[in-house]
Amino acid sequence: MSASTSGRRLLAIVGSTAAGKTALAVRLAERLGGEIVNADSRQVYRGMDIGTAKPSAAEQAQARHRLIDVAAPDEPFSLGRFLDLANEALAGCWAHGVLPILAGGTGQYVWALLEGWDVPRVPPDPQLRAELEARAEREGLGSLVEELERIDPAYAARVDRHNPRRVVRALEVYRRTGQPISSCQTRRPPEIAWTAIGLSREREDLHRRIDARVDALVAAGLVDEVRGLIERGYGCDLPSMSGIGYRQVCQHLAGELSLAEAVERMKTETHRLARMQRNWFRERDPRIRWIDATNGDPFAEALRIVESELLP
């Protein structure tokens, strides 16, 4: 828990995708009278419900969810905007005496908020981005990663090197400001008392849950959701459509993959995402109270941690 004299409290539920964060957050919100603040970078987009595994209508009825459906699929959404909206949401919770529960697997969002990152508010440069993306297509993403390693080795060491958007954004900030993005991301820890609870699962159990989720998303109509987005003018080249599920279904609809191939790639990519998330949420991190949810219900232990560490 972070030391604080302000009386402002925050609970964070973190961990890999499909670990059970949403279900736990909803139950805790119901029990504690809290509100959930989304920290998933894909659930911010309107109309992208199935592929992002957005909380169901029933879950959203059980507890208020903030920062869901706050951007159109073709609207730029940055870390800076997330921080602005998240801090506004937290202030709203505290003003009404409500405990905010930050829930999501986007580690950059979670730690930027908890650690008080001061991120650069550099607006997107469409022309520069197009040039960098064309270079990545021509030379491979590795070429951009090599440049990033030269100009900003600190950021290159922790960024997802397989994520073109993150690599391009880092180069964009450098070229616009002359400063590496890591030097712009100073930290000023906020005066907040916070507790982070991490949900872990054994690898085989997590992979089973991931695979079952992917199958459920497809059965729930993911292909039709993507087709509908395309028909409304949201092209597959948008950053929002590059997420797991949307990218593979776009390839399927373009005739590049069979549905079975698309589903298999979704599962493989989600397994890889879970590994990347473990780099953000490490089980040896003393700031996170880990609960193994493989063989039991984590609710009672999570409630005990909250009541002993966070609530007055």
Give the CATH architecture of domain 9-119+187-309: 3-Layer(aba) Sandwich (3.40)
Query: pLDDT band at residue 1, thresholds of 50, 70 and 90?
Result: very low
List, by residue range, all CATH 3.40.50.300 domains of the chain.
Answer: 9-119+187-309
Mean pLDDT confidence for 139-152: 95
Write down the pLDDT at residue 6: 53
Among residues of the chain, what percentage have pLDDT more than 70? 98
Longest dimension (CA), the chain: 58
pLDDT in tens, 216-241: 999 999 999 999 999 999 999 998 99
List, by residue range, all CATH 1.10.20.140 domains of the chain.
Answer: 126-184
State whether residue 250 is helix, strand or coil: helix
CB atoms within 10 A of CB 304: 12
Distance CA 216, CA 50 (A): 9
- Mean of the per-residue pLDDT values of the chain: 93
The reported pTM is 0.86
Place of tokens 């549905």: 259
pLDDT in tens, 177-205: 888 988 777 788 899 999 999 999 999 99
Distance CA 270, CA 210 (A): 7
Distance CA 296, CA 215 (A): 23
Q: Which of 74-78, 153-157, 207-211 has the highest mean pLDDT?
A: 207-211
pLDDT in tens, 93-132: 999 999 999 999 999 999 999 999 988 778 888 899 999 9
Residues 40/204, Cβ–Cβ less than 8 Å: no
What fold does the segment set 126-184 form as a domain? Histone, subunit A (1.10.20)
Place of tokens 């509100």: 35
Check pLDDT > 50 for residue 210: yes
Give how far the C-alpha of residue 301 lies from the chain's centroid of Cα atoms, to the nearest Å.
24
